[in-house]
Amino acid sequence: MRILTPASHDDWNSNGRLVLCNVLKPALVAEIDTAAREIEDWAECGGPGLHHFELTDNGRRIARSEDFEPYHPVMSDLLGHGIIPQILSELFGEPATLFKEKINYKHPGGGGFAPHQDATAYRFVDHHISIMMPLDRATQASGCLWFCGRQPTILPHEGGRIDPSWVDAHVWEPIEVGPGDLVFFDSYAPHHSDTNRTDCSRRAVYLTYNRSSDGDFRGTYYEDKRQVLAEASSTERVRISVNDDFLGRPA
């Protein structure tokens, strides 16, 4: 049985993004929240995965965890089975393969991301779809995502940051969502987020997939990313993405 309605497909085809509210049951959201907290603990105790930190007004805080799918059974099951792969197969028109996974924590004072397209950072495959799964309420004050419609190609940019003249010439829309909601967007959709100005965290799981017919590049992606970050380690800005778009401070 198909999940998406014709109206959902029209929204996706028009905007390159799709917001589905109250899709995940509270019990599943609670299970994912517990898993995310366990992965966050790994960062402080030398556990598995790739973890990144930033400096906030409240001190050193974790900014992102990724490459955890092989090590956490709850996350592994979520990423490979159930409603998310099913919706992706409807959007792709074929089965989906995991490309990468991450948790952005955005604790109070956590930095946002400059306007960018994921396509400039996600190498090896031309087209991807990402899902943003909020674990906390995402509002304008806490640094929610802002989008600017579907684009067919990569926009002018420097280091992944979209040219400011293009940014200023277009209208951006905030997407405020909460636990249980899902936000789908493709790798050409321009988006950004701001610093979390509240006293609560704005954690979100981000899952990225490509068409299965394009191949499995997850291992290749993380091998390449580790090399990129190692080469960028001498710079003054925090680098947690292949794009140089993170606005946080070095920890």
Q: Identify the pLDDT of residue 239.
A: 81
Asked if 15 contacts 129 with a C-beta cutoff of 8 angstroms, the reply is no
CA–CA dist 219, 224 (Å, integer) = 9
pLDDT (average), residues 185-194:
96
Q: Identify the pLDDT of residue 88.
A: 97
DSSP 35: H
Question: pLDDT digits over 71-98, tens only?
Answer: 999 999 999 998 999 999 999 999 999 9
- Sheet containing 157-158: which strands, arranged edge to edge? 157-158, 161-162, 113-116, 191-193, 145-147, 173-175
Question: pLDDT digits over 17-61, tens only?
Answer: 999 999 999 999 999 999 999 999 999 898 999 999 999 998 999
Query: From residue 157, how far is each of 26, 161, 236 by CA, in Å?
Result: 40, 5, 20
Q: Identify the pLDDT of residue 51.
A: 96
pLDDT (average), residues 186-202:
97
For the chain, list the domains and their CATH numbers. Answer: 6-231 (2.60.120.620)
- Other Cβ atoms less than 10 A from the Cβ of 96: the count is 25
Could you tell me the pTM of the whole model? 0.95
